[in-house]
Amino acid sequence: MNELASYSIQAIAFAVIAMLAISRSKKADFYQLFLISAWLVGVIVIYARYGEEQVLFYSNDQLFHRQIIEYYLPIEGLTAEGIIGLRYLLTVPVYAVSLIGLHPMLLNKFVQLIALLLIYQQSKSYLNPASSTRQSLASSIHHGSVAPLHEFAFIARRDPRLFCRCVCSQ
């Protein structure tokens, strides 16, 4: 099987897992389904266009994460100094799962997708007026500000821009 087909199958499997996870919560909405669909199309199109070279122009430390996963963890192992500097909270689970043959950078992106979905869902529950936990207006505004800020961070990532560049240049 070629690399693009393998990557695409893995991306589809991750998207299905994400959709199953949000559908079980009974709080899924169109926006979450849109995010997952856009993520799926974006990661496949970007990989089809740039392949493994996609990490060379990411501004979100993809190359750094790949070096940790492919060099530091297998060769140097875990160290106390690397807990923060080598981002063990993200890289160790990705490394461990990638040992079964899954694409490590796709796993990294999947973790980011899950984080985005969880932040959105949590922010939505804080803003829900019918929520069983009544909160003050200030608290709702504070917690609700997380979703828009994260959306701006998501838009600022290079994935959407690269996706647009890929689609527009063809």
Residue at 115 is within a domain: yes
Residue at 46 is within a domain: yes
Residue at 154 is within a domain: yes
- Phi/psi zone of residue 114: left (φ > 0), alpha (ψ -120 to 50 degrees), beta? alpha
pLDDT in tens, 147-170: 555 544 444 444 444 444 444 444
Residue at 150 is within a domain: yes
In terms of pTM, does the model score above 0.85?
no
Q: What is the mean pLDDT of residues 83-90?
A: 77
Residue at 126 is within a domain: yes
Share of the chain above pLDDT 90, in %: 24
Q: Structural domain of residue 115, as residue ranges?
A: 3-60+108-168
Q: What's the domain count of the chain?
A: 1
CA angle 48, 49, 53 (to 5 degrees): 100
Residue at 87 is within a domain: no
Q: CA end-to-end span of the chain, whole Å?
A: 25
